[in-house]
Amino acid sequence: MIPGAGRGAWIPAIVAALALVACARNPDAVALRYGRAIYASDLDTAYRLLSAQDRRVRDEVTFRRQQDEHRGFTGELLGQLASFITATPVESKIADGRAAVTLNFRLPNANAPEIRTLARDWDEGILNALADWAL
């Protein structure tokens, strides 16, 4: 089972203090990208989306240690599933170049029987070996 990946219901989430890299960037879209990156175990992208102030509080090594990281073919599969994540804005507050965003995320259920069967019950060793075998 992929930890945290089995929630298929609407889940309220608060994603605060995301970086607004460009003034024209939509903070809701940034929060959605962050949620997708965390789900997909794309920690490079997730960390880049944090504000500079947040990165000073939690360095990248600490951030990575606090997240599940799935590599290889498993990570690719999670990336595909993450592309199906949707979010509905609930509230956005922007002040002093920082945004606090509340979204309702709808996540794909990676533990649905159909997905688990295709994903070899999320056994990373088997999945990553399949990718090696396909080469």
pLDDT tens-digit readout, 90-122: 998 888 877 888 999 999 999 999 999 999 999
pLDDT, residue 125, reads 92
| 3-state percent helix, strand, coil for the chain, nearest multiple of 5 | 45, 20, 30
- Look at strands 10-19 and 98-106 and give their pairing: antiparallel
pLDDT, residue 18, reads 45
Question: Which of helix, strand or coil describes residue 117?
Answer: helix
pLDDT, residue 52, reads 85
* pLDDT < 50 regions, the chain: 3, 5-24
pLDDT, residue 94, reads 86
How far is Cα 126 from Cα 86, in angstroms, rounded to an integer? Answer: 29
